[in-house]
Amino acid sequence: MSQLNKKEYVRKMFAGISQRYDFLNHLLSLGLDKYWRRFAVSKLPPGYLLDVCSGTGDVAIEVSKNNSVIASDFCYEMLQLCMLKIKDGDRRNISCIQNDAENLSFKDGVFDGAIVAFGIRNVADISKALSEMNRVVRKGGRVVILEFSIPENVVFKSIYYIYFKKILPAIGALVSRKNGPYSYLPSSVMAFPGRIEFVGLMKDAGISKVEYFDLTFGIVTVYVGEVGSEILLKEKTL
Ligand SMILES: C[S@@+](CC[C@H](N)C(=O)[O-])C[C@H]1O[C@@H](n2cnc3c(N)ncnc32)[C@H](O)[C@@H]1O
C-alpha cells in the first residue's frame, strides 16, 4: 500500500468506527487504556501542550486537567466526538484542530510538549510525524509516545497472542460490525518497529535523551524524549 493509500485507508477506517471507538477501547483493554494514557501524560512537562492523533480526545482531556492543550487529528468524525466530550465536560482549555500529523500547521517551538497515544503506528510516514513533533516543541520540551509493543516474555507472549490475534479481532468485528479495523490492529502492531529501532527513529528526528517504559508486561511502551540536543543549543548561543 502506498503512503497516500495508507493515509486514506486509515482516515476512512477511523471515521467508520468512530462511534464505537471509545467503548471498544475500554472493553478490549479491560480498562487498562486509562492507566496507560495517565502514565504517558505524567511524563509531559506543564504548559501549552499538543496531542497529535488525538482521536476522540481522551489524552487531551487528561492533559487539560492541569494544562492548556490542542487536540489534533486528521479524521473529522473522531474529532467531532472529542468536541462533544469537551462540551459535556465544560472544558475551556482544549481546542480541536483538524491536522495531518505529517504536516502540522503550527509554528516552530510553540509547544512545551507533544504527545501521541496509539497514533504513531497508524501514520503513513512515521519519521515525518516525529520530525514535525520535534519542530513544534520548544528546545528542552518533551515528546511522549504511547504505543502498543510486543511483550518480551515468551510464555506471556504466547498467551497474549491468542487474545490479541484471535479473540480481540473477533470481539472488535462483532461490536463494530466491521471486519477490517480490528484485524488491522494486531497486524499494524506486528509491523511496527521494535523498541530500540523506534528509539533510533526518534533520535533521527532530532529528539534526544530518549527513554522508554514498558507497561503491563510490555503490551505497551511509553517513549519519552527531549527536543533539541545540547550540541544544537550550544551552537545557537555561540
Ligand atoms: C488508535 S487512534 C488513537 C486516538 C487517541 N490518541 C487515543 O488515545 O485513543 C489513532 C488516531 O490517529 C489518527 N491518525 C492517523 N494518522 C494520522 C495522521 N497522519 N494525521 C493525523 N491523525 C492521524 C486517526 O484518525 C485516529 O484518530
Each residue of 170-200: pLDDT tens digit? Answer: 999 998 888 888 888 999 999 999 999 999 9
Q: Which of 4, 28, 53 should be mutated for ligand 1, with most atoms under 8 A from CB? A: 53
| 233 Cα to the center of ligand 1, angstroms | 32
49 pocket-lining for ligand 1 (C-beta < 6 Å): no
For the chain, give the number of residues.
238
Closest ligand 1 atom to residue 57 Cα is 5
Position 3 scores a pLDDT of 76
Phi, psi of 29 (to 5 degrees): -100, 5
Reference 56, options 76, 32, 31, 33; nearest CA is: 76
DSSP notation for 159-226: HHHIIIIIIHHHHHHHHHS-SSHHHHHHHHHHHSPPHHHHHHHHHHTTEEEEEEEEEGGGTEEEEEEE
Please determine, for residue 156, whether its predicted confidence score (pLDDT) is greater than 90.
Answer: yes
Between 237 and 192, where is the model more confident? 192
DSSP notation for 174-187: HHHS-SSHHHHHHH
Closest ligand 1 atom to residue 123 Cα is 16
Please determine, for residue 229, whether its predicted confidence score (pLDDT) is greater than 70.
Answer: no
Distance of CA 88 to the CA centre of its chain: 23
Residue 102 CB contacts under 8 Å (≥ 6 apart), including other chains: 123, 124, 125, 128, 129, 132
Closest ligand 1 atom to residue 11 Cα is 25
Render the burial of 46-76: b for 16+ CB within 10 Å, e for the rest. eebbbbbbbbbbbbbbbbbeebbbbbbbbbe
Please determine, for residue 230, whether its predicted confidence score (pLDDT) is greater than 80.
Answer: no
Separation CA 184–CA 104 (nearest Å): 25
Position 201 scores a pLDDT of 98
Between 232 and 8, where is the model more confident? 8
223 pocket-lining for ligand 1 (C-beta < 6 Å): no
29 pocket-lining for ligand 1 (C-beta < 6 Å): no
**Cα separations in angstroms, 148 against 9, 22, 37, 187, 229:** 20, 17, 12, 11, 27
Closest ligand 1 atom to residue 99 Cα is 21
Portion of the chain with pLDDT greater than 90, in percent: 84
Please determine, for residue 212, whether its predicted confidence score (pLDDT) is greater than 60.
Answer: yes
| 237 Cα to the center of ligand 1, angstroms | 37
Position 171 scores a pLDDT of 92
69 pocket-lining for ligand 1 (C-beta < 6 Å): no
Query: And the C-alpha cell for 70?
Result: 490542542
55 pocket-lining for ligand 1 (C-beta < 6 Å): yes
Q: What's at 210, amino acid-wise?
A: V
Please determine, for residue 95, whether its predicted confidence score (pLDDT) is greater than 60.
Answer: yes
3-state secondary structure of 99: coil
54 pocket-lining for ligand 1 (C-beta < 6 Å): yes
75-88 mean pLDDT: 94
Assign 107 a pLDDT band (cuts: 50, 70, 90): very high
Mean per-residue pLDDT of the chain = 93
Portion of the chain with pLDDT greater than 70, in percent: 95
SS3 content of the chain, % helix, strand, coil (to 5): 55, 25, 25
Nearest protein Cα to ligand 1, atom 16: 123
119 pocket-lining for ligand 1 (C-beta < 6 Å): yes
Reported as a single tens digit per residue, the pLDDT across 24-43 is: 999 999 999 999 999 999 99
192-212 mean pLDDT: 97
CATH class of residue range 3-146+195-237: alpha beta
